[in-house]
Chain A
Amino acid sequence: MNQIKETLDCRGLYCPMPIVKMKKALKGMAEGEAVKILATDPGSKRDFEAFCNKTGDKLLESSEEDGVFTYVVEKGGS
């Protein structure tokens, strides 16, 4: 089970801020711990997929409701 350690409110922020903020949060976490991000930038969907594709972190959730995107990313092993 993943454990959400932190929730980041990135609503109103645009690229590259959401992923930079997420990276900062992940840096302080252990493998298996997760961060939840709320965002409104429509580009973030593809950005979060690409981020996890490259870093080895896991995108556990990616959803949208009323223009707000929710992502849950679990820190992978490095």
Chain B
Amino acid sequence: MMSEKKKMAIIVHSGTMDKLYPVFMLASAGGAMDVEAHLFFTFWGLDALKKGGLDNAKLPGVMRVGTGMMKGRIKDANVPTLPALLDMCNELGNIKIYACSTTMELMKVKEEELIPEVDDIVGAAAFLDIAMDADVQLFI
């Protein structure tokens, strides 16, 4: 007998590759396990939702120069690219992507600049409403 549906809520605060990987790996693994995953992109995380953003994500700080090498290793290890992970999440169908409305104003990001996979543009209260009922809450 299947237990009742679990939920996870992740605040995606960082837009660097090293942080976006765990976000999408956990979301896709969760999605596959019938866990509804809610991803709330705020601050630098919002960059990842801009068109081409996931593909352009770099390693943080001075490690930025090693981004190409890391991408090479990721390819060699047969690990999917970030855009491919996003596609997988989409296909699973139980992963929701939210853009933080305040960050959009702060960073002057228009709705049409965001990728079509964004499900909604929401505020803190909407996220908390989801997070309070979630079994896993993470800040990445």
Contacts and interface: CB of A to CB of B under 8 A. Distances in A.
Interface of A: 12-17, 19-20, 22-24, 47, 50-51, 54-56, 76-78
Contacts of A13: 78
Contacts, number: 48
14 contacts: A14-B78, A14-B79, A16-B25, A16-B29, A16-B32, A19-B32, A20-B92, A23-B32, A23-B92, A24-B91, A55-B34, A56-B1, A56-B3, A77-B1
A14 B6 CA distance: 24
B2 interface: yes
A22 B35 CA distance: 15
B88 interface: yes
Interface of B: 1-3, 6, 25, 28-29, 31-35, 77-80, 88, 91-92
A78 B34 CA distance: 10
Contact residues of B: prevailing secondary structure = loop
B79 A55 contact: no
A3 to B, nearest CB: 21
A28 to B, nearest CB: 13
A15 B31 CA distance: 13
Given A55-B2, A55-B34, A56-B3, A20 B29 contact: yes
A42 to B, nearest CB: 14
A19 B33 contact: yes
Contacts of B80: 17
Contact of B32 (A12, A51, A76): A51
Contacts of B32: 16, 19-20, 22-23, 51
A12 B78 contact: yes
Given A54-B33, A78-B2, A16 B28 contact: yes
